[in-house]
Structure formats: C-alpha cells, structure tokens
Amino acid sequence: MTTLVPLQNHQIRLANRPVGMTTRENWQFTTEAVTEPVEDGVLVKTLSLSLDPAMRGWMNEGKSYIAPVEIGEVMRAGGIGKVIASKHGNFAVGDLVTGGLGVQEYRQFAPAEIKRHAISKIDLRMGTITQWLNVLGMPGMTGYFGLMEVGQPKEGDVVVVSGASGAVGQTVGQLAKIKGCRVVGIAGGKAKCDFVVNEMGFDACIDYKNEDVRAGLKTHCPDGIDIYFDNVGGEILDHVLARLRRKARIIVCGAVSQYNSATGVQGPKNYLSLLVNRARMEGIVVFDYADRYPIAIAELAGYLKDGRMKSREDVVVGLETFPESLVKLFTGENFGKLVLQVASD
C-alpha cells in the first residue's frame, strides 16, 4: 500500500471507561498516515459525524444491543463522508456515503465490509448532509420504526415524546402528527418548546426545566396518553406511566437522563400502571429494521420535500471538539440533532 502523502488521519480513541459524566480524560488523540485502499476497498473522508446519546452506552463495558467500544479503539460513530479513493466498482471518487466512519478524519472500508453494506450512497436530492444524519439517518429510522412498529399509532391517539426537539423526537412528533395523532412534546427550555410547537406543529410542549411535568401532562393530556416515545427515562417516565390510557404503548428508545448516573439507573416506580392499564412497554433497536430503511427514508424524504416535515440540526465544527460536544447531549445544550462537522468537503 502506498501512503496518500501528505494525508494524516486524526483520530479519537476511547482511553478509559467513564464513571458518571464523560470528560476529555476518557479520550486519546492519535494520528495515523492514510494509505491507499486495498483491492476492492474504498477510502472515505469524513465530512460530518452524528453525535448521539447512545454513544455513552457504547463507552460502557458489558453486554448491550451492540458490542462496547474497546479501550484503545477509535470511537464508533455514524457519519457522512466522501469517497476519495476507490478500488471498488460500485463506488467512485466523489460519491457521498453514509456508514460507520468512527470519530476520525478518514476510514478505509475493506471489501468484506462493503459487501455487508457498511457504506451506502446518499442522494442529496432527498435531503442535505445534515438531514441524512437526522431525519434520513439513524435517528429518523429509530423514530420511524419505533413509532410505527411498536407504537402503532391510530388517528386520534395522544402521543407524548420526550427529547422533543432532539433528533429522534423531531421525527416522532412530526410523523405522529402526519398520522393524525395529537402530539405533546417534552423538552428543556422555552426556546425548544416554542420551536416544536410553532415550527414543527406539535400540539403542545412541556418545558421540563421550568414547568411541573406532572401538571403539564394533566393539562395537555386530560384523558391520558396512548403512546409515549421515551428518550429520557427517569422521573418523566414515571409521570407518564401515571397517566396511561388503556392499552397504551411505551417505546423504550433511551434514557438519556440516566446514562451518566454513577449510582445506577432509576427504575420506573409506577410500572404497575402497565398492569392497571393493560399497557405495554417495549424496547426498540433500530438495526433490526435495516432491511426496511429505504422504505422509511423514501417516505420521510417525501415529507421533507413537500414541507410537511422540517428538520433542525445543531452543527458543531472540528473533530477536536468531540469530547465537549458529546457532553452537550446530556446537559441538553444542543438544540436539534447534534452534528459534528469534521470537514466541509
């Protein structure tokens, strides 16, 4: 292999596993020379990376829905990149692709990885690069399949979604509106609440940082809740459980309020409401629906095109900001899907 002089690949690797909130100390910064792709391989330059709450889970040891990132490994991250060298017939220099690029500037894809669809081309006519990391990316797929498959929304259902202005929440709330539901968001701060109501068409939004969530749910869901799409866990989940309707569905997508807890996860004290209301709480992992991503992407891209769905991304710039940018997801500082722009082209 020849070296693509003078390309240097700056990388961020997991140095150690955090206890509680993740900090810069958890990361190691490395640099490697970039080489030519192998026969039938592809070299991708990272343009933008998706920063997601799930990353905090990948930093932990132990069994989960996906293997943990190992100590010393480049941090896992999905992203959009550009093919800058290709020895594979299906990919040409200049193609834009989505896939697991990792928190680094360049990534080689081996023939076996390409064979199992580790990268796929994106079409900017369907959405922008940041939208491909948001509504048309993993968060959008998570929202789409979580709501449609587990939530099974019916017209007139009352849908509550936490993390309402976040990546998954945006898709869930707007899609539920399109499906004829009444949608109540929960978000942190007036600006986010105003945004999902005024710009994204939610029926209401509760500001958990400044309002009593229990009282807000009573006001906005006087007859109870049919579907709760849970991105946060913690006390909000308990408040929702207390207001379930018969045969309600709770989609367990995440628990961002709990991921950095050094004392362990808080279990939902009101879980017996599932019994009283013959309700269901079910987990979703987006990868299970990979075969059907194209169908969901086509549907969501249609909504973006005809204006029935909007997207909002919060773009931070510079690979080196990764450690602090990631923390924003847990303090709620991001406003919209958090994207790390590594290179502009």
Pairing between strand 182-187 and 158-162? parallel
For its own copies, the closer of residues 238 and 314 by Cβ is: 238
Residue 247 Cβ, how far from its own copies at the closest point, in Å? 9
* Residues in region 196-235 near its own copies by CB under 8 A: 233
- Nearest CA to 97 out of 76, 110, 107, 82 is that of 82
For its own copies, the closer of residues 216 and 254 by Cβ is: 254
Q: Does 265 bind its own copies (CB under 8 A)?
A: yes
Considering only 62-70, 92-100, 164-172, 310-318, which stretch makes contact with its own copies by CB under 8 A? 62-70
Residue of 20, 72, 100, 267 that binds its own copies (CB under 8 A): 267
- Nearest CA to 330 out of 57, 100, 34, 87 is that of 57
Q: Does 255 bind its own copies (CB under 8 A)?
A: yes
CB neighbour class for 215 (10 Å; exposed up to 12, middle 13-18, buried from 19) = exposed
Q: How far is CA 87 from the centre of its chain?
A: 31
Residue 241 Cβ, how far from its own copies at the closest point, in Å? 9
Could you give the CA distance from residue 209 to residue 98 in angstroms, rounded to a whole number? 35
Q: Does 283 bind its own copies (CB under 8 A)?
A: yes
Q: Does 279 bind its own copies (CB under 8 A)?
A: yes
Contact pattern for its own copies over residues 120 through 149, marking x by CB under 8 A: ------------------------------
Could you give the CA distance from residue 123 to residue 80 in angstroms, rounded to a whole number? 11
For its own copies, the closer of residues 260 and 277 by Cβ is: 277
DSSP calls for 153-209: --TT-EEEEESTTSHHHHHHHHHHHHTT-EEEEEESSHHHHHHHHHTT--SEEEETT
User: Per-residue b/e over 295-327, b at no fewer than 16 CB within 10 Å?
Assistant: ebbeebbebbeeeebbbbbbbbeebeebbebbb
* Residues in region 285-304 near its own copies by CB under 8 A: 285, 288
Residue 269 Cβ, how far from its own copies at the closest point, in Å? 4
Q: Residues 186, 165: contact at Cβ < 8 Å?
A: no
Residue 63 Cβ, how far from its own copies at the closest point, in Å? 7
Considering only 3-11, 163-171, 173-181, 253-261, which stretch makes contact with its own copies by CB under 8 A? 253-261
Residue of 10, 218, 260, 271 that binds its own copies (CB under 8 A): 271
Q: Does 253 bind its own copies (CB under 8 A)?
A: yes
Q: Does 269 bind its own copies (CB under 8 A)?
A: yes
For its own copies, the closer of residues 18 and 41 by Cβ is: 18
From the CB of residue 227, how many other CB atoms can be counted at a distance below 10 Å? 26
Residue of 19, 191, 215, 276 that binds its own copies (CB under 8 A): 276
Q: Does 272 bind its own copies (CB under 8 A)?
A: yes
Q: Residues 82, 44: contact at Cβ < 8 Å?
A: yes
Residue 226 Cβ, how far from its own copies at the closest point, in Å? 15
For its own copies, the closer of residues 1 and 265 by Cβ is: 265
The kind and range of the H/E element at 132 are helix 129-132
Per the listing, tokens 């958090």 go with 338
Considering only 45-53, 181-189, 267-275, 308-316, which stretch makes contact with its own copies by CB under 8 A? 267-275
Q: Does 275 bind its own copies (CB under 8 A)?
A: yes
Axis-axis angle for helices 167-178, 190-198 (nearest 10):
30
- Nearest CA to 204 out of 164, 244, 255, 256 is that of 164
- Nearest CA to 171 out of 207, 131, 206, 227 is that of 131
Q: Does 282 bind its own copies (CB under 8 A)?
A: yes
Which residues contribute to the site for its own copies (CB under 8 A)?
63-65, 233, 238, 252-255, 258, 264-285, 288
